[in-house]
Amino acid sequence: MTIHREGYKSIGWVGLVLLVLNIVCYKLMCCCSCNWICNIFAGISLIFFLFVVSFFRIPSRKLTIDDKAVVSPCDGKVVVIEEVVDEEYFKEKRLQVSIFMSPANVHVNRNPVSGQVVYNQYHKGKYLVAWNPKSSTENERHSVVIKKGNTEILVKQIAGAVAKRIVNYLSVGQEVKQTEELGFIKFGSRVDLLLPVGTKIDVALNEVVKGGVSVIATL
């Protein structure tokens, strides 16, 4: 397991703040009768620090490379499988698969297919809870369309009530490879896939998937 580069600054600041708070705590409560309070605070600080570190983890995995597969762009739980009318790019019906990422999930986002980036757009918006259906169109989000042959797939990174920083590494015209990093979303959030209507879906509602490993659909 390694730590994602997006986490270096956050982990450093959290560690520094917790260290200062613990030093202050021990200096203010230096009497023996109050040491137990400082010890409890130190324990809680350590647990919180380890949680922040784990949030930015990149576990070792055997990634799925399959020319006919749409691989999951993230870890999480499938919360939506339905036809929708996409007003942003396609202007027609698409099959939407949405994956909810809890704060405990790995938050690296990966390319579901290989191809060329033909669309890349950031949208300001609200911070509704990520499982709210309106979050797909009203929340802060970053949309990318990857063209593979004659098929175009839209990947939408969506901020949630806690996640307020979306990082996207792609640019229009770029050739990308399946399972390579697409971006990162800090803390709980959601990723939508918009696929052609009629695409064979290989997951079910409430199924837990792994980014870069689980096959979402077959082209």
Element holding 8 (H helix, E strand): helix 8-28
Q: Are 40 and 21 in contact (CB under 8 A)?
A: no
Question: Which of the residues are catalytic?
Answer: 189
Q: Are 93 and 197 in contact (CB under 8 A)?
A: yes
Gyration radius of the chain's alpha carbons = 20
- Mention every residue, 6+ apart, whose C-beta is less than 8 A from residue 109: 73, 74, 155, 157, 181, 182, 183, 184, 185, 191, 211
Element holding 186 (H helix, E strand): none
Alpha-helix runs per DSSP H in 29-108: 35-55
Find the Cα–Cα–Cα–Cα dihedral 198, 204, 209, 213, rounded to 10°: -40
